Amino acid sequence: MRAMKLHEWFERADKWFEGEQAPLRSLYPVYEAVGAFFFVPPVRTLHGPLIRDAVDIKRYMIAVVLALLPAYLFGLAAFGPRLIVMTIVSYAVGGLVEALFAIFRKEEINEGFLVTGLLFPMILPPQTPLWIVAVGIAFGVFFGKEVFGGTGHNIFNPALVGRCFVALSWPAHLARSYIKPLGWIDAFTSRGLTALVDSPIQAVTAATPLNDLNTAMRQGQALSFFSPQTDQLYLGWTAGSVCETAAWLILPAGLWLCWTRVSNWRTPAAVIGSYIALGAVLSFFRPVQFVSPALGLAAGGLLFAAFYMATDPVTSPVSNRGKLIYGCGIGALVVVFRGLGAIPEGVTYAVLLMNMAAPLLDRYMILSSVPATLPRKEIPREANA
């Protein structure tokens, strides 16, 4: 009954938004998004097949959000409720940009934003100032997606474009935003609820494990294959971006996502496989420069990127072989960036660089995999005239 009343309410609101003469027609995308959220439109199929698969974009994106939840909850426990505030800011600002563009272009609001808006705060340091979150997501959605023509046309992963932008613009702010697990309790006891929105305090900041490893290796220490740090890394009890640390949660959730077929297993398998293979070889020969893959896999955002960033359907290749090459490229680039780069972490740049290669990979893979076209009679050129 209540559902029907809600529907009647929507039907009554129709005349305000739909049609040429409707007074609020410019807000139609927002109205459509809200309506489609509550009600699956009763659209009948007119063309074959008259039956359709139960999955739509919303369900597809919600599956990704569900797979992100374990890591999100862990991040909440380890790095504090500030994550919720960051998420609200990200959804609000990013959603505003998305809605404005939809109204401007007179198109529907796309559900892909459900994932982007959640992913972005998850890959930031826990104490990132809120204004950076807002600027980052606005930049990511605008320059990462909308300027290309909206969802489905973008080349780069919007969340990573935002992350890349804030990392390049305010490196010092981000560097002092990392805290130790449960460090948020200190912040709350000293400052109360203002710690939810305040910028970080120096007292609780910590270095990420990749920073530690980098410093250790600069000092000439060769790290053994299994150091005492390994188990802590896999449990996620280290400093890092909010939700990238818990390897033991990301791995099963990501595998579940592959099992549901929402993300293709080839991409994460190729990323992890190539990282382990190349990392093992290089760290064997140059242990003072390259981290052993047993440590490097769980440190930083590699696993998170492999399962949630690289598998983004829009920015990754469609062909199966393309996915494998794309994944291998990411894994190899991460090894190179981490071992030879000036910064300890390079996953963001690796994924963004391979995003650029994805259309090209697809083009070659599709053309090479298409079976020879049907034998046809040669038509003499004169016949055309």
Partner 1 sequence: MPFVQKSQGIAAYRHSAAGQLDIAGGLDVCYTATPSAPVEPAPETPCLNLSLRQNRQQLSRLHVSEQQEVYPGMLLAEGEQTHLYCPCSGVVQVMNPDKRKRPGNIEIIPAEEPSDAPIISLEENAPLAAKRQFVRQMGVWDSIRQGMLMAPPALDDQPNEIIVRCVFAEPGQIPGSMVIRRHLQEFIRGLKYLYEIGGSYAPIVMTVPVQSGSLGRQIREQLRGQAFVHISVVPIRYPVENPLLLATLLGRERGLGPDHFWVVDPQTVIAMTCAMEKKQFWSHRYVAIAGPAVRQPVILSARLGAPVGELTKPYLRDDVAETPAFIRGGLYSGKRAVPEEGLRYGDYAVWVIPETEGPELLGWMHPGHERPSWTRTVLSGLLGKRTFQARTLLRGAKRPCIGCGFCRQVCPAGLYPHQLHRLVTHDCMEEAEQLGLLNCVECYCCSYGCVSKLELAQDIIHARRALLHQEAKGL
Using CB under 8 A, list all residues that contact partner 1: 3, 6-7, 32, 36, 38-60, 62-63, 108, 110-112, 150-153, 259-262, 264, 313-314, 318-319, 366-367, 369-377, 379, 383-384
In the complex, the smallest distance separating the C-beta of residue 51 from partner 1, rounded to whole angstroms, is 5
With tokens 């000036």, the residue in question is 342
In angstroms, how far apart are the furthest CA atoms of the chain? 88
Which residue, 112 or 140, is less far from partner 1 as judged by CB?
112
DSSP letter for each residue of 330-370: HHHHHHHHHHHSSSS--HHHHHHHHHHHHHHHHHHHHHHHS
In the complex, the smallest distance separating the C-beta of residue 361 from partner 1, rounded to whole angstroms, is 13
Which residue, 43 or 172, is less far from partner 1 as judged by CB?
43
Task: Compute CA distances 356 → 157, 195, 241, 315, 363, whole Å.
Answer: 10, 39, 25, 8, 13
Which residue, 41 or 220, is less far from partner 1 as judged by CB?
41
In the complex, the smallest distance separating the C-beta of residue 46 from partner 1, rounded to whole angstroms, is 7
Task: Give φ, ψ of 205 to 5 degrees.
Answer: -70, 155
In the complex, the smallest distance separating the C-beta of residue 104 from partner 1, rounded to whole angstroms, is 16
Could you tell me if 72 and 122 are in contact, meaning their C-beta atoms sit under 8 angstroms apart?
yes
Nearest to 188 by CA among 232, 126, 244: 126
In the complex, the smallest distance separating the C-beta of residue 358 from partner 1, rounded to whole angstroms, is 9
Could you tell me if 270 and 331 are in contact, meaning their C-beta atoms sit under 8 angstroms apart?
yes
Which residue, 107 or 212, is less far from partner 1 as judged by CB?
107
Which residue, 238 or 264, is less far from partner 1 as judged by CB?
264
Give residue 299's region: left, alpha or beta (phi > 0; psi -120 to 50): beta
In the complex, the smallest distance separating the C-beta of residue 258 from partner 1, rounded to whole angstroms, is 10
Nearest to 210 by CA among 284, 128, 272, 296: 296
Which residue, 294 or 361, is less far from partner 1 as judged by CB?
361
